[in-house]
Amino acid sequence: MTLLAVERIKLFSTRSPWWCAALALVITTGIAALIAANTSAEFPLTVGLTQAFYSFGMYVVLVMAALAVTTEYRFGTIKATFLAVPNRVSALVAKTAVVAVMAGLIGEAVAFGQWGISKLIKPNADIAINSAVEWRNVAGVGLVFLVGSILALAVGILVRHTAAAVSILLVWALIVEQLIGIIPKIGEKIQRWMPFVNGNHFLTAGGPELQPDPIKYPFGAWGSLGYFAAVSVGLLIVALVVAKRRDA
Amino acid sequence: MIEAVRLKKHYGRTIAVDDLSFTVCPGRVTGFLGPNGAGKSTTMRMILGLDRPNGGDVLIDGQHYASLKHPLRKVGALLDAKWVHPNRSAHSHLKWLARSNGLPTSRIGDVLEMVGLTAVAGKRAGGFSLGMSQRLGVAGALLGDPEILLFDEPVNGLDPEGILWIRQLMHRLADEGRTVFVSSHLLSEMSQTAQDLIVIGRGKLIAQTTTEQFIHDATEDRVRVRSPQADRLRELLAARATVIEDAVDHALVVHGLSAAEIGEMAAEQGVVLHELSPQRGSLEEAFMQLTSEAVDYHAHS
């Protein structure tokens, strides 16, 4: 509990988490507003459509999570942390927990922000959240942010440099996972095992497809989230082992 | 008490610390002296469990740093004053440190008062001058009221007032019975601060002794003598002392005889002297001599 309090003080005594949260909210609700304003009878507003661009917020949160650890390496405060708390694994797990909860809360704010602004713009559209699928589609965004932030922290711990960590995360999530499917034959087989692709599948599975999805997912909705979480936690464990062994 | 036993550390093929053993005793200021790159910071990081030794061991009162329950209450360290997030205020920085070791929040005000930063407690640390950052670092080290204090080059870049403040602080801490271990690459600084010295060069122990003894041994008196009969004089002197010829003006530099003795010898043998000047070796020169084989980066002229 002490370590959680320590990491909470550290996270909130700098401005970057607030900026990242605000940025994630502004971008996602802005796009949701644009979408809602341009829906019509031929192209109706649905619950799934309000969440279509949640990933823009997620990229910001991935950067925030990576920064939470790379700035510690950048400014040497990680050494101050390890002096105060020589058990590096506990210190980093506490940091991960605090950042992941923060990411989850931002995710929920993003999800309901997108939904809320859509409702505000098109009060008559039928976007009431009724079914379990629709609940998963909206409220699930927070879980995807939470799991994604664990992966981002793991990358941050491993590479230690802000520029490197952010590049790896964004190139991976935005380019590799999206474009790998283009490779003939094996592309799709690889793509279905990609972590963020599975995170997205968790949100959209069972809902109306905005565009045809060619991927044959190995898991159902919750299985996909579990797989995404397993990959993220697995990478975190690797990162913790590395951090424990190397010189601070 | 800090005890290092056969400590070793290498980075790739570069050996940073080589078979280093020493003891740092309580109630005294112990200087850790060596040229830049001698392995002082690496050793301090190993004491604090930040770097992992490749061999040997270092214990604090018989325990590894990593196994201390509340390390900040036992050991306070200032390795780098810049280890603060620039956007975090001095108060917030100390707050998370205090919280991590179960120290009361009231301690923050106490240490800020001690180092004279009370007025800027709420200001972001990124805007601090080097002297202020150093004071914040000291505040962090004192936070847990530790018995053992480590300072790595604490006076580097400080103005004279800051240097004096650090010196007085270290003496006060040692007088209170604490173990104070402070590194520097300047013997003149250490001669005013430390009672004991651990001298290293290229990662190896050169000497562990009191400062007084080290300076006495290191600054052996020399006498410069010039004579038109240099060869004859050299023969006479070489029988009783070490004689080195100055390559520039062919003067003889004599170790082990006083100026009076040399003058009397010359008079007895009827040797004409043009110069007879006793020279007190400077501290830095002596230190250079001792560590010259142990410096990694020479300037080649």
Output the pLDDT for position B3: 95
Distance of alpha carbon B207 from alpha carbon B290, whole angstroms:
10
* Domains within chain B, CATH numbers bracketed: 2-217 (3.40.50.300), 220-279 (3.30.70.980)
On whether any CB of chain B is under 8 Å from the CB of A193, the answer is: no
Contact A80 B140 (CB under 8 A): yes
| Bridge-based pairing state of the strands B75-78 and B252-255 | unpaired
Structural domain range at position A82 = 2-245
Question: Across all residues in chain A, what is the average pLDDT?
Answer: 94
Span B43-57, average pLDDT: 95
- Put the strands of the sheet holding B29-33 in their side by side order: B75-78, B148-152, B179-184, B29-33, B196-201, B204-210
Residues in A closer than 8 angstroms to B95, CB to CB, are: 9, 13
Complex-level ipTM: 0.88
Contacts of A29 (CB under 8 A, 6+ apart): A110, A113, A114, A116, A117
More confident: B174 or B250: B174
Kindly state the percentage of chain A with pLDDT values over 90: 86
The answer to whether B194 touches B182, Cβ cutoff 8 Å, is: yes
Rounded to a whole number, what is the distance in Å from the CA of B179 to chain A's nearest CA?
18
Instruction: Say whether pLDDT at B290 is over 80.
Output: no
Instruction: Say whether pLDDT at B188 is over 80.
Output: yes
Tens of pLDDT, residues A119-129? 999 998 888 99
- Put the strands of the sheet holding B14-24 in their side by side order: B14-24, B2-11, B55-60
Contact B83 A80 (CB under 8 A): yes
Residue indicated by tokens 């713009």: A121
DSSP annotation string for A53-119: THHHHHHHHHHHHHHHHHHHHHHSHHHHHHHH---HHHHHHHHHHHHHHHHHHHHHHHHHHHHHHHH
Q: How many CB atoms lie within 10 A of CB B288?
A: 14
Most confident segment among A103-107, B271-275, B295-299? A103-107
Instruction: Say whether pLDDT at B41 is over 90.
Output: yes
Tens of pLDDT, residues A86-123? 999 999 999 999 999 999 999 999 999 999 999 999 99
The answer to whether B154 touches B82, Cβ cutoff 8 Å, is: no
Instruction: Say whether pLDDT at B49 is over 60.
Output: yes
Q: Point out the least confidently predicted range of A16-30, A55-69, A174-188, B206-220.
A: B206-220
Number of domains in chain A: 1
The answer to whether A159 touches A168, Cβ cutoff 8 Å, is: yes
Give the A:B interface size as CB pairs under 8 Å.
79
Rounded to a whole number, what is the distance in Å from the CA of A85 to chain B's nearest CA?
7
Output the pLDDT for position B301: 46
Kindly state the percentage of chain B with pLDDT values over 90: 58
Span A38-59, average pLDDT: 92
| Residue of A5, A14, A79 lying closest to B85 (CB–CB) | A14
Contact B84 A71 (CB under 8 A): no
The answer to whether B192 touches B167, Cβ cutoff 8 Å, is: yes
Output the pLDDT for position A72: 95
Distance of alpha carbon B30 from alpha carbon B121, whole angstroms:
31
Helix (H), strand (E) at residue B22: strand B14-24
